[in-house]
Amino acid sequence: WQHKSKAMEIITEIINGARPEHKKGVKTMIILVLGGIWHLRNECTFRQKTANMTETMASIRRTFELWHQAGAVHLEHPLWDPP
């Protein structure tokens, strides 16, 4: 673990580049996106499904909306136009 991974460096840079009032939302969005990617990976690995970027993005958007509806006020609508 002497060298940081490229992905970790990118994530750290994104978080550090966020304005202080947006850091919580940025961290939550990163977790939700990575969770969506992990779910897709599991579907491909264990259920022999084919990766589909459009479906994955739609799933991540639905998850964002559910979190927002549940009261996660720090989340903005980064992947679609707000109503």
Q: Are 61 and 11 in contact (CB under 8 A)?
A: no
Statement: residue 1 has pLDDT above 50: no
pLDDT value at 42 more than 80: yes
pTM for the full model? 0.77
The 8-class DSSP code of residue 22 comes to G
Contacts (Cβ under 8 Å, ≥6 apart) of 78: 29, 64
The pLDDT assigned to 45 comes to 95
